[in-house]
Amino acid sequence: MGRRVCAVGFGRVFADRLSWVAVMKIPLDRHASKPLYLQIRDRLKHMIEKGLLPSGTQLPSIRTLAEAVQVNKLTVIEAYSVLEGDGLIQARQGAGYFVSNAPTPAPRMASTFAPVQSVVIPQQRSQSFYTLYTNSLKARHQAGMIDFGLGSPSPPEDLQRLARRAVTQIGETLFDYDFPQGQLLLRQQVAHMLIQLGLEVSADDLIITAGSQQGVYLTASHYIRPGDWVIVESPTYPGILAMLEQLGAQVIGIPMTAEGINLTLLEQHLRSHQPKLICTISTLQNPTGITMPQSHRQALLELADRYRCPILEDNAYEGLNFEPVPLPLKAIDQNGWVTYLGTFSKTLMPGLRVGYLVANPDTHRALLEQKLMLDLHASTVSQAIVSEYLASGHHRRHLNHLRATYQQNRNAMLQALEQHFPEAACWTVPQGGIFLWVQLPEQCSVQAICHEALAENILIGNGAAFFPGQQGYPAMRLSFLRPPEEIERGIATLGRIVRSHCISLRSL
Ligand SMILES: Cc1ncc(COP(=O)(O)O)c(C=O)c1O
């Protein structure tokens, strides 16, 4: 056995011979409905969690394991990719796959987020999304700016090479007109990703959109006519608020609790206003970072069913969770109420403008026709780049890297907030994504804080922009994409500014 271990280059291989034999003899049921790669994943996961494969253990090479359990190499690649995505194993350049070190525990800082629960039916328009968006873009490009405002991921290192390969491989068809639903290969790849999230979906159910912003427009404009009532979470993503106002909808902002939208207030307003749509960011919500638990999701769907109200589920932060998240609403929706949106903006590059929409059988054609009116189809070049990236197998590795980096950054931000912010402030502790939400004492002028912060080269999101008609409590959204040293420096300065405002309030 020892000789064989050396021959396949295992180095410091398994903790003992039994573990090695167990991995090489993973029992597979070739008639089961569970795919083979998931059977391999589950077996290895079990062994890692039981400590049979300790941290640092090297796994068999893809070829060795494929031969040992008599599956295609792609099946092993897929199993290793899922394990890597779960953070259980890591690929080391040129050396193979190793069991990860136990993740560093998150700081034990429970969220004290418990805002006043008042419904907002705005009397005035929300802040201009155009001004908000362009001002933030201008500010973040200033030299020396610490950007806690907007959030774009750093692209994968090899993106340029992937982009070149995508363009050369697909050739002349790449630059021709295409069908509005988007390229078949990309739709198949996205369907495969979504099946792993629990959605029952095929390439035919998908529409590739120009970012999820376009998905919001397609869905909202399908369900809403001027004057209709629409429910949003309060606070929520300003791009949704702006879109609804543009369509002439009357918005009802139902407050977020620490577990998601307030279901009691939601039911009252479903009964009293008969809204035409509920917009929710069910997982890693923007701006609070809150993920709705499974029971909350089930209850929300039951309400949608009872009051016959469709749901727009915007899952823009899909894949950036540090901990397992519940199934999307779309995955447990029995009666076709949910339209699901996803995007590559938060995990790959927003500039590509590639998102996707999972429609219902009865709305698919109408949404597709509307998409054709807007822009004929999403950019074929961008779609080919995303396809190439997904096919290269880098996606899971990149996601894994983003999650690990953002988790460290989030921890650094939580620690810095604890250290530098006044006691009267409270914040959410998101289990993923890129933002957290800080609630400040009543009467605090967040606008003044934003101005002073900007003068010290710190960009933050004024919470007012996330409430319908800016009618909410004082708050700010902070993105934790910057590295820990920058976060510590920026939050120390911001904390000083916020404290000075809290002190001046006390002396009033
Ligand atoms: C919740 C949510 N939906 C949609 C979008 C728009 O993203 P995209 O770049 O995919 O259009 C964003 C961007 O920040 C967002 O936070």
Is the same domain home to 134 and 174?
A: no
- The response to whether residue 233 sits with its C-beta less than 6 Å from ligand 1 reads no
pLDDT of residue 41: 85
What's the total number of domains in the chain?
A: 3
CA-to-CA separations, 73 to 24, 62, 206, in angstroms, rounded: 14, 6, 29
290 Cα–ligand 1 center, Å: 16
Task: In whole angstroms, give the CA distance from residue 91 to residue 107.
Answer: 27
DSSP states of 402-436: HHHHHHHHHHHHHHHHHHHS-TT-EE---SBSSEE
Is 123 part of a structural domain of the chain? no
Count the alpha carbons within 13 Å of 297 in the hemisphere toward its beta carbon.
20
Running along the chain, 508 residues long, what does each successive block of 10 average in pLDDT?
30 56 82 81 85 86 90 82 72 81 58 87 85 86 87 78 81 80 96 94 96 98 97 97 95 96 98 98 97 97 97 96 94 96 94 95 96 94 93 84 92 94 94 95 92 95 94 95 94 96 65
pLDDT of residue 11: 39
Run of H or E residues at 278? strand 277-280
- The response to whether residue 350 sits with its C-beta less than 6 Å from ligand 1 reads yes
Report the nearest-CA residue for atom 2 of ligand 1: 316
Q: Under DSSP, is residue 155 helix (H, G, I), strand (E, B) or coil?
A: coil
- The response to whether residue 238 sits with its C-beta less than 6 Å from ligand 1 reads no
Is the same domain home to 326 and 455?
A: no
Task: In whole angstroms, give the CA distance from residue 64 to residue 15.
Answer: 18
Is 120 part of a structural domain of the chain? no
Task: In whole angstroms, give the CA distance from residue 231 to residue 276.
Answer: 8
Closest to 48 in 3D by CA, of 100, 92, 111, 116: 100
Is the same domain home to 224 and 326?
A: yes
Report the nearest-CA residue for atom 12 of ligand 1: 316
State which ligand 1 atom lies nearest to the alpha carbon of 150: 14
472 Cα–ligand 1 center, Å: 21
Is 478 part of a structural domain of the chain? yes
pLDDT of residue 393: 79
- The response to whether residue 281 sits with its C-beta less than 6 Å from ligand 1 reads yes
Task: In whole angstroms, give the CA distance from residue 330 to residue 201.
Answer: 10
State if pTM tops 0.75: yes
**CATH, residue 19:** 1.10.10.10
213 Cα–ligand 1 center, Å: 6
- The response to whether residue 343 sits with its C-beta less than 6 Å from ligand 1 reads yes
Other residues' Cβ atoms within 10 Å of the Cβ of residue 413: 25
Q: Are 406 and 204 in contact (CB under 8 A)?
A: no
210 Cα–ligand 1 center, Å: 11
The residues with which 97 forms a beta bridge, in sequence order, are 91
**Could you tell which of 343, 354, 375 is best to mutate to test the pocket of ligand 1, judged by most ligand atoms within 8 Å of the CB?**
343
- The response to whether residue 237 sits with its C-beta less than 6 Å from ligand 1 reads yes
215 Cα–ligand 1 center, Å: 9
**Could you tell which of 133, 346, 353 is best to mutate to test the pocket of ligand 1, judged by most ligand atoms within 8 Å of the CB?**
346
Is the same domain home to 325 and 201?
A: yes
| Structural domain ending residue among the three candidates 392, 415, 442 | 392
pLDDT of residue 343: 97
- The runs of H, that is alpha helices, within 17-142 are 17-24, 36-49, 62-69, 73-85, 129-140
316 Cα–ligand 1 center, Å: 6
**CATH, residue 149:** 3.90.1150.10
Token pair 């727009």 in the structure block, residue: 312
Is 112 part of a structural domain of the chain? no
35 Cα–ligand 1 center, Å: 32
Task: In whole angstroms, give the CA distance from residue 359 to residue 180.
Answer: 14
Q: Are 434 and 317 in contact (CB under 8 A)?
A: yes
CA-to-CA separations, 265 to 96, 223, 344, 474, in angstroms, rounded: 53, 22, 33, 21
**Could you tell which of 190, 212, 281, 318 is best to mutate to test the pocket of ligand 1, judged by most ligand atoms within 8 Å of the CB?**
212
Task: In whole angstroms, give the CA distance from residue 152 to residue 150.
Answer: 7
Is the same domain home to 322 and 415?
A: no
Pair of tokens at residue 275: 């809204």
- The response to whether residue 211 sits with its C-beta less than 6 Å from ligand 1 reads yes
212 Cα–ligand 1 center, Å: 6
Is 115 part of a structural domain of the chain? no
Any residues with CB less than 8 A from the CB of 383 and at least 6 apart, and which?
182, 183, 186, 208, 354
Is the same domain home to 401 and 333?
A: no
Cβ-based burial of 361 (10 A; exposed 0-12, middle 13-18, buried ≥19): exposed
**CATH, residue 235:** 3.40.640.10
Is the same domain home to 321 and 439?
A: no
Is 119 part of a structural domain of the chain? no
Range of the domain at 333: 159-392
pLDDT of residue 9: 32
Is the same domain home to 291 and 363?
A: yes
268 Cα–ligand 1 center, Å: 29
Is the same domain home to 17 and 92?
A: yes
- The response to whether residue 342 sits with its C-beta less than 6 Å from ligand 1 reads no
Is the same domain home to 192 and 281?
A: yes
214 Cα–ligand 1 center, Å: 9
Is the same domain home to 188 and 271?
A: yes
* Omega of the bond leading into 324 within 30 degrees of 0 (cis): no
**Could you tell which of 132, 209, 213 is best to mutate to test the pocket of ligand 1, judged by most ligand atoms within 8 Å of the CB?**
213
Is 116 part of a structural domain of the chain? no
Closest to 115 in 3D by CA, of 428, 417, 431, 423: 428
Is 270 part of a structural domain of the chain? yes
Is the same domain home to 376 and 412?
A: no
* Amino acid (1-letter code) at residue 271: R
Q: Are 373 and 210 in contact (CB under 8 A)?
A: no
The residues with which 439 forms a beta bridge, in sequence order, are 426, 475
